[in-house]
Structure 1
Amino acid sequence: MTALRKACRNCTTSKRKCVVQLPKCTRCAQKGLGCTYDLEPLKAPTRPPLDKDSSGYCIMKTFKSPASSIDPAICRPGNEGTLEFVRLGYLSVPGLVRAGKPAVFVHPKLQLHDSYNHFAALGEAGKGGLSYESFKSLIEINVKTVPVREALTALQALLVYLATFLFSSSQVDQSRAENYLNVLSEWTQNLLESARARMPQHQSPWQEWLFGESVRRAIILSNMLSLLLYSFRYGYCSRWLFLESLPFDRRAGLWMAESPQAWIAAARVRTGEEVGERLNSLHEFAESCDGSDPDFGGDMFLALLTLGHNGARRNHERRPGGN
């Protein structure tokens, strides 16, 4: 028998014990709170149900208020905010990297001299390189046997390909790309499990941090892409809890640094060894944002995650002095 989450959403968020009862748990009844149970399996399905009335939590729901007749936990299918997230979060990456600038999940200063760089090959080809033939060539690699830095660049390239095709106006491109979502899942899981054990040796502190943060961002944006697709197609997404638990370094300015000296200065320390890693989950990061730094020093990754999680309205309401 499948195990279900035995806690309401409020108690889960507050990390409090939930005494389950209907229509409200004990804690919500005492505090006069709305009480919603997400009775989905602990191991969420890889594909969402097509039933729009099913309850669930969607990280994209805050882009636009849903109709009053729809459960607020369900996105409106076809939400244009999803397309904007794809455009800024994935499709802008090749151009930024070609210009030598840090992009959402690819940093041009990460040294990959001992590995084949699949993302660089995509970038050099330009828009014309985003063909189904080059896409098929990419997915033929075995990420379990290549160096970990090559596996990282392969996942980065795959993210751009899939974002391009999954949200294309061509039904053929969409259908073809959707058949390879399992490859995206396998490559992401491989990187998640093996990156630390296969960490390149003898790197400078800056390069070590860049590699770790590149891996973390690629893993988050991989899970986000599947979630965006499902919310856009069906108005439902099932992997929100796992996505919110994923960590990254939230310190604004570190990712945008283009030299070791700028990176150290952004961390406000004296040496690279002192920078280290300060990781927060997506949930912890978004809940702590007060709207006082809406662009996060130009780091689009942090800005997009905040908007996707909290929505523009909530950030404005939490800003000191906001109306």
Structure 2
Amino acid sequence: MEALDNCISLVYMMNSGTNGSHKLFWRNVRMECARLCSEAWKLSSWGLLAAMQSVSIYILFRLDEGETEHNDFDSLLINTVTIIAQHLTAKDIANNYSREQTWRAWLYEESRRRLAVIYRVVNMLVYFDPAAMCNLPSDLVLAPLPAKKELWEASDEQSWNLENKKDPAAGNAFGLARTGELVRLGSDRDGEELVHSAITSVSPLRTGASWEEWCSGMDGFGGLIMLAALLVEE
């Protein structure tokens, strides 16, 4: 998880308030992005995920600051996201990634879906080139949405299994529709979520869901999704 370790160190440096820390932060971010672009091909699935997470933090810093003389390398940030995303996709295809519901497999997928939500929300705020790589159906803005807090914060596989058994509906997949409404996603015969399937005569319709029910089990991501819904409605 070198990319995340480096990111944490850079954020600590940025927040130190010492003279020159801001300039040094962005200089190191530029170098880190260049490194990730050149080394993405040899990272594992988890390494690529960590890289995508770290770059998302750099992008959030960039959005928060606005353009300055030190952070003016948007094309490199965007290119880094694109390259890592391409390698992530290729890695999943090459490994024929299993959908077996083990805690570790679920944790990887849930980490990805939460990260995808962040990048898609960024695309709602500014034009973000890599968003074109996402093949969501036209009726959805964000999907699938993050799972409930109890599942996400489970400390081990036993705790995760207990939460799954306690609330079988906790793993249901939801999405934010372009109307600003919360919808429950359908699934095929094998139980696979039809996130990327458009509604057709053979594909089940999205069903309405309650914001109150969904938010009651969410962590801080619930607020982000509701803010995104307000943007859609406007």
Give how far 1:279 is off.
Answer: 3.6
CA distance in 2, matches of 1:275, 1:192: 28
In the superposition, relative to structure 1, how do residues 197 and 223 fare at CA in structure 2: closer, same or farther (>3 Å)?
farther
Which of 287, 292, 302 in structure 1 is aligned with 2:222? 302
Please list the CA deviations of residues 183-224 of structure 1 after superposition, one character each: whole Å capped at 9, or x if unmatched. 2233234324533644789x9911111011112222332233
Look up the SS of the partner of 1:244 in the other structure: strand
Judge conservation of contact 1:294–1:303 (CA < 8 Å) in 2. Answer: no
Give how far 1:162 is off.
Answer: 1.3
CA distance in 2, matches of 1:157, 1:168: 17
> What is the alpha-carbon root mean square deviation over aligned residues?
4.1
Q: How does 1:84-103 map to 2 (within 5 A)?
A: none
Corresponding position of 1:137: 31
Which structure carries more relative contact order (alpha carbon 8 Å, separation 6+)? 1
In the superposition, relative to structure 1, how do residues 252 and 151 fare at CA in structure 2: closer, same or farther (>3 Å)?
same
> Which structure is larger by alpha-carbon Rg, 1 or 2?
1
Bigger mean CA offset, 180-189 vs 192-201: 192-201
In the superposition, relative to structure 1, how do residues 186 and 158 fare at CA in structure 2: closer, same or farther (>3 Å)?
same
In the superposition, relative to structure 1, how do residues 124 and 243 fare at CA in structure 2: closer, same or farther (>3 Å)?
farther
Q: How does 1:240-255 map to 2 (within 5 A)?
A: 241=138, 244=141, 246-248=143-145, 250-255=147-152
In the superposition, relative to structure 1, how do residues 309 and 184 fare at CA in structure 2: closer, same or farther (>3 Å)?
same
Corresponding position of 1:292: 212
Look up the SS of the partner of 2:153 in the other structure: coil
Q: How does 1:101-180 map to 2 (within 5 A)?
A: 116-128=1-13, 131-139=25-33, 140-141=35-36, 142-180=39-77
- Identity, in percent, stands at 16
1:210 paired to 2:132: no
Corresponding position of 1:45: none
Q: How does 1:210-229 map to 2 (within 5 A)?
A: 210-229=107-126
Corresponding position of 2:195: none
TM-score, normalisation: structure 1: 0.47
CA distance in 1, matches of 2:90, 2:169: 24
Look up the SS of the partner of 1:264 in the other structure: helix
CA distance in 2, matches of 1:294, 1:149: 28
Name the amino acid aligned to 2:109: G
In the superposition, relative to structure 1, how do residues 248 and 170 fare at CA in structure 2: closer, same or farther (>3 Å)?
closer
Judge conservation of contact 2:121–2:228 (CA < 8 Å) in 1. Answer: no
Please list the CA deviations of residues 153-205 of structure 1 after superposition, one character each: whole Å capped at 9, or x if unmatched. 0110000011102331453245323552232233234324533644789x991
Give how far 1:294 is off.
Answer: 6.8
TM-score, normalisation: structure 2: 0.61
Corresponding position of 1:109: none
CA distance in 1, matches of 2:82, 2:214: 31
Structure 2 residues without counterparts, runs of 5 or longer: 15-21, 184-207
CA distance in 2, matches of 1:281, 1:294: 11
Name the amino acid aligned to 2:223: A
Name the amino acid aligned to 1:153: A
Name the amino acid aligned to 2:225: L
Please list the CA deviations of residues 72-93 of structure 1 after superposition, one character each: whole Å capped at 9, or x if unmatched. xxxxxxxxxxxxxxxxxxxxxx
Which of 161, 186, 200 in structure 1 is aligned with 2:83? 186
Give the length in aligned residue pairs.
190
Give how far 1:135 is off.
Answer: 1.1
Corresponding position of 2:153: 256
